[in-house]
Chains A and B, each alone.
Chain A
Amino acid sequence: MSHSTRVLKSEWTKVRSVRSTVWTLATALLVSVGLGALICGVTASTFDDMSSSEQVTFDATYTSFAGMGIGQLAMIAFGVLIVSAEYSTGMIRNSLAAVPQRGTFLWSKVLIAGALVLVVGMVTSFCAFFLGQALLGSHGVGIGDEGVLRAVVGGGIYMALIAMFAVGITFVLRSPLLAFAILMPFFFLISNILGNVEATKKVGQYLPDQAGTTVMAVVPDTLNRPYGPWEGLLIMVAWTAAALLAGFFVLKKRDA
């Protein structure tokens, strides 16, 4: 077994052996699916009250992902906790004493956490979609309709990326308090404002979550962005890569 495989195994043991993993990821799934279902149910019952132009541009796929705006916060919590717990408990010193190759340590953690959130993200996205469409009934769409599968798969990737963005940022900040205090309000509120208010939209729409969500929209007018769905996701990938690289350089340079 190679050295990196061993470190991967060790990181997997770390992730699966703390309770926060289960409750953050379960919350992400349940909140995203539950809230999405609620909104789909309400929408279905009030569909006839909508104006005809609203009905024409109605995005059934995107509506079923409405819970992810809140559910992603639990994904962020997962990302923050798996990194900050190393620092707040002092475990990082044991970890780096055991694996002094800091790159191997960080990228193993990223790979394990990334694989896990991708699986959970996909399950979340597919569940939210199918449950939402069932509740929307005749207003819903099928997975085979144009652009829908891309949106659902994209939704799963989105959830994984937001968690990994948090991982990168927390490797930079180290403190759980600081990471939560910055990431939570930012993704709950600030970026939504920056990405949608006219004055700041030009720049704000390139923020990671604002760009990433475009992949989940099927009707182009839903978000009205100057880039396409995959480009949007790619912008988010770039943000996440940048955050992880920043985390890597901080880990490499600073004393543990």
Chain B
Amino acid sequence: MIELRDLTKRYGDKLAVDGLSFTVRPGTVTGFLGPNGAGKSTTMRMVLGLDEPTRGDVRIEGKRYAELREPLHSIGALLEAKGVHGGRRAHDHLLCLAQSNGIPERRVGEALEMVGLQDVARKRPKGFSLGMGQRLGIAAALLGDPRILMFDEPVNGLDPEGIHWIRTLMQQLAREGRTVFVSSHLMSEMAQTAEHLVVIGQGKLLADTSMSQFIAENSRTHVRVRTPEPERMRDLLTEAGLRPVPGAEGALEVDDGDAPRIGELAAAHGVVLHELSTQRASLEEAFMRLTAQSVEYHAAAPGGTHAPPVPQEGTAPHPGGPQSPPGAAQPPPAWGEDWQDRKGRRG
């Protein structure tokens, strides 16, 4: 269990973390979400006692980090900067960490095997691929068989197979009853991994909720109606107490609408429908809506046209790779861009 109380960090006149209080519990994967610069890495560094909080504190199983005599038995972490000396063989890298905490050397081999690096144990990490480096960092986190694991953007730069591996590992660690705290700035990634969700923006807590509740509360659903007689249909909907707004391609969008009821309404008045469908906003959109006010670096709004979706690591459907959920199929545009654009269109 990790408990944060009023955790605050100020760098000069910038509040990187602003009064965060929440608890990360054992037995589930807790996703720690926030746009770039939200303060996720800073928070994690404070959990490890690397950065001194300006105010507030963090407890690891009830103790302050500095009170842990051999912390690797309690908490293992993978930080943003990998923290591996490129010239020190993988085995020696883990060995020096293990020795400092009285972890037997046999664990080094076990940890390397767990992450699939046993064949390069005697190699120097400067020749490692991104994925191998990530695995070495995870091996270091697993060394002391800790009850708590903390990963800062572990899937960054990994291929679909690597992402799948990490996701499975985290879920397995949680099933074993461990506390798993993992940061990301991709909602779609978290949706597949985490059961609990902590969202921050500009250092402030925006949400601390279960994943299912977050989805239920934050994804906006609307009904999309296309008809050759849009004006008539709009009047009918308005009379029925609904609020249709014009959507793309001449369609009408009805927030929180009930598709069967709208269909019946159209049938009763003899309006022909070309489309009647319930649309669920993607989680990514929900996340962006939540953090929109706190996004630090808005991308310049494109002039009405959407840039073609660029497949991104972690979200692009990959043949033979892990199955992406519907929410992940559409790669998110730059931060806030999409949301800003939509807001503009709706007026």
Contact = CB atoms under 8 A, between A and B. Distances in A.
Contacts, number: 89
A95 B45 CA distance: 13
Contacts of A94: 79, 83-84, 97, 140
Contact of A90 (B70, B82, B99): B82
Nearest to B101: A98
B69 interface: yes
Nearest to A11: B96
A17 B88 contact: yes
Interface stretch (A2-10, A151-159, A167-175, A178-186): A2-10
B102 interface: yes
Contacts of B70: 3
- Interface-centre pick from A17, A85, A95 (highest chain B CB count, 10 A): A17
5 contacts: A17-B88, A89-B85, A90-B82, A97-B48, A97-B50
Contacts of A89: 83-86
Interface string B91-105: 011011111111000
A19 B85 CA distance: 11
Interface in B40-79: 45, 48-52, 65-66, 68-72, 77, 79
B97 A10 contact: yes
- Interface-centre pick from B48, B52, B100, B140 (highest chain A CB count, 10 A): B100
Given A3-B70, A10-B96, A96 B49 contact: yes
A96 B50 contact: yes
B83 A100 contact: no
A17 B96 contact: yes
A18 B85 contact: yes
Interface of A: 1, 3, 6-7, 9-11, 13-14, 17-20, 85, 89-101, 255-256
A254 to B, nearest CB: 9
A94 B45 CA distance: 11
B87 interface: yes
Given A91-B84, A255-B45, 18 more contacts: A6-B102, A9-B99, A10-B96, A14-B88, A14-B96, A17-B93, A18-B87, A89-B86, A90-B82, A93-B81, A96-B49, A97-B72, A98-B72, A99-B100, A100-B48, A100-B49, A100-B65, A100-B68
- Interface-centre pick from B65, B77, B81, B140 (highest chain A CB count, 10 A): B81
Contacts of B93: 17
Nearest to B76: A97
A4 to B, nearest CB: 10
A93 B78 CA distance: 10
Q: What is the size category of the interface that chain B forms with chain A?
A: 35 or more
Interface of B: 45, 48-52, 65-66, 68-72, 77, 79, 81-89, 92-93, 95-102, 140
Contacts of A256: 45, 50-51
Nearest to A9: B99
Given A13-B96, A255-B50, A98 B71 contact: yes
The 4 A-B pairs with the shortest beta carbon distances in the complex, nearest first, are A10-B100, A90-B83, A17-B92, A90-B81
Contact of B66 (A13, A19, A93, A100): A100
Nearest to A21: B87
Contacts of A7: 100
Contact of B100 (A6, A17, A18, A93): A6
Nearest to B52: A255
A256 B101 CA distance: 19
A93 B50 contact: yes
A256 B66 CA distance: 14
A97 B72 CA distance: 8
Given A10-B97, A10-B100, A14-B96, A97 B77 contact: yes
Contacts of A85: 85
Nearest to B88: A17
A8 to B, nearest CB: 9
B83 A93 contact: yes
Contacts of A101: 66
B79 A93 contact: yes
